[in-house]
Amino acid sequence: MRHQQQRWIPGNRFELLINGEAFYPRVFAAIESAEREVLIQTFILFDDSVGQALHRVLVAAARRGVRVELLIDGYGSPDLSPAYVEGLTSAGVRLHVFDPGPKLFGLRTNLFRRMHRKIVVVDGRLAFVGGINYSIDHLKEHGPAAKQDYAVACEGPIVGVIDRFAHDSLEPHKRLQWLHRRAAPPLTTLPPPAGDADALFVTRDNAEHRSDIELHYRIAIRAARHRVVIANAYFFPGYRLLREMRRAARRGVDVRLILQGMPDMPIVKFAASMLYHHLVVAGVRIYEYCERPLHGKVALTDEHWSTVGSSNLDPLSLALNLEANVMIRDRAFNAQLHEHLDELVAKHCRLIEADDLAESNLWRLTRSFFVFHLLRWYPSWAGWLPAHRPRVMSVPAPATPAAAADTGAATAARVAADQESAGVGARADA
């Protein structure tokens, strides 16, 4: 299996953005100041107060002549109203739906291989990468169910790599992985240096880069000498990643996991808890974040390496979904992220003690047998799941008020198919 042959790109600056309170104002301000182009990819876009705020700045940007490309996921964003979509497309926003699918008996059918990335690029100069979607549940005003999450604002040459990837995702006759088969772009064609951080932009797909993000995690953990801190919402990694965590702890590295203590879905905590004993006995310290649901996907090792992105450490992210993380080598950013996570542990987390894992030896041995073999063979079993060719469908701007009623994202597949049969509008990508 090939992996992305990328070099670390120097000269970047990163700003850690914690939760929607920091992320949304920064992104919206960047869009408001855009002069040429805005590229957005997101798994979830809801028609709530956050979605409406994004709608306003995108419409305003498109009306002043900025090219706006918005890619949403057909599973994650299935219910945008016709008025919401028509407001975007009539203003000139180019709306694309990744793998739209019809509902069967009211249920969504396109469950696997989702476009889970969260990327923004403005004028090829400023980029945002992380795990924050466009929905009100990323704001504290949402209440106890508000999510704890992270993103980074990126400046410097790495933005050029992210920009090229975002463009490539929308090209009609190219595979999404084409960018990574080419040589890395010359530094002279990228934005000028903006700081001292080295960076990699790493994605996962279902063709040639199926385990690239996991590979970088494993390399970083294997190289760790002092500390490993991983805060991840959906935790059920493969056998090799678990092995690296155990090995690091056994050689004296302080390995800490921050996982969900108040999960948005109960199955999340149950699945992760099946691995607790296996990790705790090796010396890994596990903390459950108990203030609200944890949605973050961040990690750091020692004093230099960090990552922020969309990839969870579970079968969906590591074996099925399209993901994007930025890997950062920078002492200052690492220290900032570590200080925040350390505060999270001190104030809002519960340490899982060995006494908390008391259970019958028979049950533990039986469970460990099945969990071990499940983890041992995934992600190879992911190939058995539906492997259709996902498409990026463009939603055409309505020609008449009557047509506007049919342009909701939930009906994008039918609209695009109608346009495709007429020879206009729709386009597909792998």
Tell me whether strands 297-301 and 227-232 are parallel, antiparallel or unpaired.
Answer: antiparallel
Query: End-to-end distance of the chain based on CA atoms, in angstroms?
Result: 19
List C-alpha distances in Å: 108 to 73, 77, 134, 382. 12, 11, 20, 20
Helix-, strand-, coil-residue percentages of the chain, each rounded to 5: 40, 25, 35
Query: Catalytic pick from 147, 295, 304, 348?
Result: 295
Question: Which tokens is 299 given?
Answer: 């990690």
Question: Which tokens is 59 given?
Answer: 């419409």
Residue 27, H or E segment: helix 19-32
Residue 345: how many other CB atoms lie within 10 Å: 18
Q: Could you tell me how many residues make up the chain?
A: 430
Query: How many Cα atoms are found within 13 Å in the side-chain-facing hemisphere of 76?
Result: 23
Whether 302 sits among the annotated catalytic residues: the reply is yes
242 neighbors 278 (Cβ within 8 angstroms): yes
Query: Catalytic pick from 123, 196, 264, 418?
Result: 123
Q: Where are the alpha helices (DSSP H) in 266-378?
A: 266-273, 276-280, 315-319, 331-348, 361-377
Residue 200, H or E segment: strand 197-204
Which residues, at least 6 apart from 328, have a Cβ–Cβ distance to it below 8 Å? 12, 14, 152, 197, 198, 199, 305, 306, 307, 308, 334
List C-alpha distances in Å: 136 to 22, 57, 72, 116. 13, 17, 17, 18
Whether 123 sits among the annotated catalytic residues: the reply is yes
136 neighbors 142 (Cβ within 8 angstroms): yes
| Closest to 118 in 3D by CA, of 145, 149, 144, 140 | 149
Paired with 329 in beta bridges are 198, 305
Query: Catalytic pick from 209, 216, 297, 304?
Result: 297
Query: How many Cα atoms are found within 13 Å in the side-chain-facing hemisphere of 211?
Result: 14
Cα–Cα distance, 154 to 179 (Å, whole number): 20
Query: Catalytic pick from 55, 96, 99, 118?
Result: 118
Cα–Cα distance, 82 to 56 (Å, whole number): 16
Whether 118 sits among the annotated catalytic residues: the reply is yes
Query: Catalytic pick from 254, 302, 356, 418?
Result: 302
Query: Catalytic pick from 55, 96, 116, 277?
Result: 116
Cα–Cα distance, 193 to 298 (Å, whole number): 24
Residues acting as catalytic residues: 116, 118, 123, 295, 297, 302
